[in-house]
Amino acid sequence: MLTAILISGGFIMESCAPKSAEARPEEDSSQFVTLSDAVPDAIMEIRYFGTYNFVGCRIDGYEEPTALLTRQAADSLRAVSDDVIQLGYRLKIYDAYRPQRGVDHFVRWAADIPDTLMKSYFYPELDKSVLFEQEYIYERSGHTRGSTVDLTLFDMSTEKELDMGGTFDWFGPESHPDFCGNPETGEYTGDNSKSPVGRSITAEQFAHRMILRQAMLRHGFKALDSEWWHFTLKDEPFPDTYFTFPVKQL
């Protein structure tokens, strides 16, 4: 339908058809890449697309078993991959970009205290009621900004994951980079006093964690003090944007 508007003795015809709404910034995936394209040597084991994770089911927003990252983070990760390949390893990716609906799924799960399906695998010594208090679950995640990745190393000589002395997404001090050693110096101390049940890791397992950590730090990532597998690009391009588009091939 057209509307005629009288201006200074003349008519201007203005369309009343609705204008298409512009996409919101958090819905825009144009600055992201599919990680298997950007880092072709990386192995993908996207835990939140499957059921072997601390929730025990596929997480909302994971529509395909793939990983996405911002272009800048993917470029830096490619450099890490090229680095560790010279040492006989490949990167193995557990998670990268995580849509906000996936984080919301974690929050709902954490509030459902009776649901302890995967407790024996990921948090056997932890009461689920403390997950928010002890900051294992957040309402916002760096993953949702698109430049954070969870990963480990795959040993090409043994064709197995490198033994890190603990599983991805283990809720406990055993996952901290400083467990049994000093990550700043790479020194193994054997100090397992933080473990509530006296768990420990060996000097070799600690050294394996340090190989991954040092490679990531060399190429522009920063570590998290509670998870040996978690790294964020220091100069992340979207530090204040929490994206909502789903995880699927771009």
Query: Residues 144-153: pLDDT tens digits?
Result: 999 999 999 9
So what's the pLDDT on residue 27? 97
Instruction: Give the mean pLDDT of 156-178.
Output: 97
The closest alpha carbon to 148, from 219, 240, 232, belongs to 232
What's the pLDDT at 139?
A: 96
What was the pLDDT predicted at 31? 97
pLDDT of residue 21: 54
Q: What mean pLDDT do residues 24-48 have?
A: 97
pLDDT range class, residue 218, cuts 50, 70, 90: very high
Return the axis-axis angle of helices 203-218 and 71-85, rounded to nearest 10°.
130
Amino acid identity, position 142: G
Residue 8 has pLDDT above 80, yes or no: no
pLDDT category, 110, cuts 50, 70, 90? Answer: very high
pLDDT score for 11: 40
Look over the chain and give the mean of its residue pLDDT values, rounded to a whole number: 93
Please report the pLDDT score of residue 7 as a whole number. 40
**Region 165-173: what's the mean pLDDT?**
97
Given a cut of 90, whether residue 229 has pLDDT beyond it is yes
Give residue 23's pLDDT.
73
| Whether residue 3 has pLDDT greater than 60 | no
Q: What is the mean pLDDT of residues 53-75?
A: 98
Rounded Cα distance between 142 and 150, Å, is: 11
Is 104 strand, coil or helix? helix
User: Looking at per-residue confidence, does 180 or 15 come out higher?
Assistant: 180
Contact call for residues 99 and 247 (beta carbons, < 8 A): yes
Give the pLDDT confidence score for residue 1 in this predicted structure.
40
How large is the average pLDDT for residues 78-103?
98
- One-letter amino acid at 121 equals Y
Q: Say which range, 5-9, 63-67, 192-196, 233-237, has the weakest mean pLDDT.
A: 5-9
CA distance 99 to 77: 20
**pLDDT given for residue 10 in this prediction:** 44
